[in-house]
Amino acid sequence: MAAPAGKWDARYLGPVPHNASYYAKCMLGGVLACGITHAGMTPIDVAKCNIQVSPEKYKGLGSSLKLIAAEEGSGALWKGLGPTFIGYSLQGMFKFGLYELFKDTYMNLAGEEISTKYKGLIWAAGSASSEFFADIALCPLEMTKVKIQTSPAGTFPIPMGAALAEMSRLRAETRYPFGSVVPLWSRQIPYTIAKFTFFEYIVSLFYRHVLTQPKDTYSMPTQLGVTFASGYLAGVVCAVVSHPADSLVSLMGKPANRGKSLGTIASEVGIKSLATKGLGTRIIMIGTLTGFQWWIYDTFKSAMGLGTTGGK
């Protein structure tokens, strides 16, 4: 659909105009994409967080899952499910919905020539801007989730309501609700830049070098297959880029680190440990998460008649 009066407008480059209804549907797609996938990966997240916080006890994914289940029961593998689902649903709403809005806005500010020439910068700026707001929404629930998952059995409430109340009661110590927003930004903004920029780039490579006919000539299952593969590959990059900051977020919830600055924790643990402990588990987790997030998001978009993402 062309822009009014023939004027170039990024909001009219897709199969449907990008109006308020479009952005609202993208927000709902983001809720589904992030809430469902993160909730489904809770056992892996529980293991990953404990590997980061207590590597002397939790050595690897399989052994950590078995150890947690043996010591606390199989239900412990789902600790933090509530704040995970709600927190990442909110994050996904802003991450995906605002990305579409910021991307269109920045393309229109830059103009057609610059937007075409510097697509990567547009993608990076749009994703960074959206994640800034997404992390503010996520932070209180992420802090609660990490505290639930990494506290020794019996030392912190597991039910979501009681956990949130305890985090608030101990806010002088936990820095709840926004004490982790800076490390969250340092983890999630690079992660999201990689997630969206590499996804868009990989999708464009698929349609340029593998599936060389016009995108809309391919069936929806084929397009969604490209979406999942591109998302998974982008997720591997995301995991590596954001892992040191993710380790810091987990370590902040450790009782021994209470009151310590981020710099102190980083210096005590060491950059090598921050960058590598739990990385293999996180690559599995984030690659799978990112692939399915993009697949769910694009499946929802296509069901709403909005078309799949990228590849133009």
Domain extent listing, the chain: 15-303
Residue 305 CB-half CA count within 13 A = 5
Q: What pLDDT sits at residue 284? A: 85
* Spatial distance between the Cα atoms of 231 and 224, rounded to a whole number of angstroms: 10
Q: What pLDDT sits at residue 1? A: 52
Contacts of 9 (CB under 8 A, 6+ apart): 3, 108
Residue 267's CB: how many other CB atoms inside 10 A?
A: 11
Q: What pLDDT sits at residue 118? A: 96
Q: What architecture is the 15-303 domain classified under in CATH?
A: Alpha/alpha barrel (1.50)
Q: What pLDDT sits at residue 274? A: 84
Dihedral of CA 84/136/256/61: which sign? positive
Residue 17: DSSP 8-state: -
Question: What length is written for the chain?
Answer: 312
Q: What pLDDT sits at residue 312? A: 60
Q: What pLDDT sits at residue 52? A: 81
Q: What pLDDT sits at residue 311? A: 81
Q: Which two tokens mark 276?
A: 């590598």
* Spatial distance between the Cα atoms of 51 and 67, rounded to a whole number of angstroms: 11
Show pLDDT as tens, one digit a residue, over the chain (312 residues). 556 666 899 999 988 999 999 999 999 999 999 999 999 999 999 998 888 888 889 988 899 999 999 999 999 999 999 999 999 999 999 999 999 999 999 999 999 999 999 999 999 999 999 999 999 999 999 999 999 998 988 999 999 999 999 999 999 888 999 999 998 998 889 889 989 999 999 999 999 999 999 998 999 999 999 999 999 999 988 888 878 877 887 787 677 777 787 788 888 788 888 888 888 888 888 888 899 999 999 999 999 999 999 886
Under 8 Å between Cβ of 64 and 47 = yes
Q: What pLDDT sits at residue 294? A: 97
Strand segments (E) across 168-242: none
Closest CA to 178 of 144, 150, 151: 144
Q: What pLDDT sits at residue 5? A: 64
